[in-house]
Amino acid sequence: MNELLEAVNKNLFVRVMAGCRMVWSSLLLLWLPIAVPLPTLAAQIVIDLSEIDQCDTCRLPLEKVVSLGEAVGPGMIEEEWTRAVWDDKMGYLTFAFSGTTIKRFDEDGRFLDLIGRAGEGPGEFGAISDVQVVRTDIVALDYRNRSWSVFDGSGAFIRRHRYPYALGHGRFHVSGYDTLVVASLQTRTPDIVGYPLHLTTLASDEPVVHFGADSPTYVPDEPYGGLPVLSTMSRSGTVWWGKPTLPHWEEWSLDGRHLRTVVGDLSWFPGQLADLRRSPRPIPRMGYFGVDAQDRLWIIVEVADPGWREIEFVQMEGGYWEQVGDARPDELRDARLDVFDLKTREHVGHFTWDSVYPALMVLRGDMAVSLVEYGVGQEPQLSIYRLR
C-alpha cells in the first residue's frame, strides 16, 4: 500500500478513499477515475535457461484427450487457426482467430451450438481475438469493433461494451472478479506506450492501470516487439508477458511488483537476431507460453521448417526478404513446444509439429495443447492434447 501511496497523486487518492474502502492495492486502483502507472520493483529472481541442460532426445509424451469438429454443418472446424477454451459447465468453446462465431462442444466432442455471428450489432463480431469465461459468462474480445461482448452460460447475448483503444491482435487474461489484463495496447499516449500490460474491467471505458515495465520509456525495437505475448496460465494474482522474438519472459503481480524474469540462450530461439535478419530464413517467433500449477514453463515457438531452403526468395529494398510465389505457412515454419521446470531447473522435453497453429489452453487446471488435424475423411478437427 505504501508503494501505491507514493505513486498516486495525493488529491486523487483522497477522492478514491472517499468513494470506497478497499484494502487491496490492485482492487483499489480499479476505482480511480483516470489510469495511472503502477509503481514497480526490480525483478527478485532471474532464471537463465542457458544454465539448464537441454535434452534433445526428450520427447514430450502427449496424449489426445478429444477431437472437436463435424464433417459437415455448423459444427465444422473451418479455419486452421482455431483455438479452444474449456469450462467445466460450458464445455469447449472454439473460435477462429479473426473469426465471427464461437462454437460450443461438450466434453466428448459433440457439437452443441453457435454463439454470435458476423456484423456490428448486438451479439455480432467483426474479428474475434480472444474468448474467456469470466465467472459464469462468456466474454469475447472483438479487436475490429473495439469492444467486449458478453454472453451468459446458455449463449444468450447480454451486453456489449465499447472500448476506445485499439487492442491489437492480442489476448486477455482473467485476473479476478470482472478484472482483466490486456496486452499490446496500441496508443501513442506518452504515459501509456511504454507499458506492455493494462488492467481493466468489463465496465471501464479505458484501462485503469498500466504496468509490466521498469520504466515508461520501455519501447521495444526488436521485430514484433510492440506485440508482447500474454501468458495462457500463471499463478493466482500474477501475470506473465513475453517477447515474441527473443527468449525473455517476465512475471508481474497485479499490484505492480516485478517477481521473476526468465531468459536464456536457446538454440532454436536465439537471443540475437542480427544474423537472421540478413537471411531469408524465417525468424523464430513465440506464439504461446504459460506457467502451469507445477511451475513449469510451456513455450510454443514457430521455427524454420527444414524445407524453407527450397523456397525462392528475393531481397527487397531495405534488406528485407520476400518469398517468390505461393507457399503454405507450414512449408516455411514448424511449431516447437518445450517445457521447462522452473523449480527443479530441468528441461522436461519438447515436441515439434509440421504446422504453425498449435495453441496452449487450460484444461481442468492443467496446461494443454489444441491443434487442427485431419480425420480419416480429411475433415478438419481440433484435437486437444495433454501431457500423459
CA atoms of 184 and 161, how far apart (whole Å): 19
Cell numbers for 314: 528475393
CA atoms of 376 and 358, how far apart (whole Å): 20
Q: Is residue 226 scored above 50 in pLDDT?
A: yes
Task: For residue range 154-181, list pLDDT tens digits in order.
Answer: 999 999 988 766 555 568 889 877 788 9
pLDDT cut 70: percent of the chain above it: 80
286: domain CATH number is 2.120.10.30
Report which of residues 173 and 296 the model is more confident about. 296
Do 202 and 259 lie in one domain? The reply is yes
Strand, coil or helix: what is 276? helix
Do 28 and 50 lie in one domain? The reply is no
pTM of the predicted model as reported, rounded to 2 decimal places: 0.86
pLDDT at position 25, please? Answer: 41
Task: For residue range 94-120, list pLDDT tens digits in order.
Answer: 999 889 999 999 999 999 999 999 998
Q: Which residue has the cell 488492467?
A: 199
Do 315 and 367 lie in one domain? The reply is yes
What phi and psi values does residue 50 have, to the nearest 5 degrees? Answer: -65, -25
25 contacts 255 by C-beta, under 8 angstroms: yes
Task: For residue range 308-359, list pLDDT tens digits in order.
Answer: 888 888 888 777 788 888 888 888 899 999 999 999 999 999 999 999 999 9
pLDDT at position 201, please? Answer: 85
> Mean pLDDT across the stretch 188-213?
78
CA atoms of 385 and 373, how far apart (whole Å): 12
Do 4 and 118 lie in one domain? The reply is no
pLDDT at position 336, please? Answer: 97
Query: How many structural domains compose the chain?
Result: 2
Strand, coil or helix: what is 49? helix
Do 1 and 75 lie in one domain? The reply is no
Cell numbers for 38: 503502477
Do 20 and 60 lie in one domain? The reply is no
Q: Which domain holds residue 271?
A: 35-387
CA atoms of 336 and 324, how far apart (whole Å): 26
Residue 323 CA, chain-centre distance (Å), reads 28
Do 11 and 67 lie in one domain? The reply is no
Do 219 and 247 lie in one domain? The reply is yes
Q: Is residue 141 scored above 70 in pLDDT?
A: yes
Q: Is residue 31 scored above 50 in pLDDT?
A: no
Contact partners, residue 189, CB within 8 Å, separation at least 6: none
| Mean pLDDT, rounded, of the chain | 83
Do 24 and 105 lie in one domain? The reply is no
Contact partners, residue 186, CB within 8 Å, separation at least 6: 165, 166, 167, 168, 226
Do 48 and 27 lie in one domain? The reply is no
CA atoms of 189 and 270, how far apart (whole Å): 32
Do 185 and 58 lie in one domain? The reply is yes
Do 20 and 154 lie in one domain? The reply is no
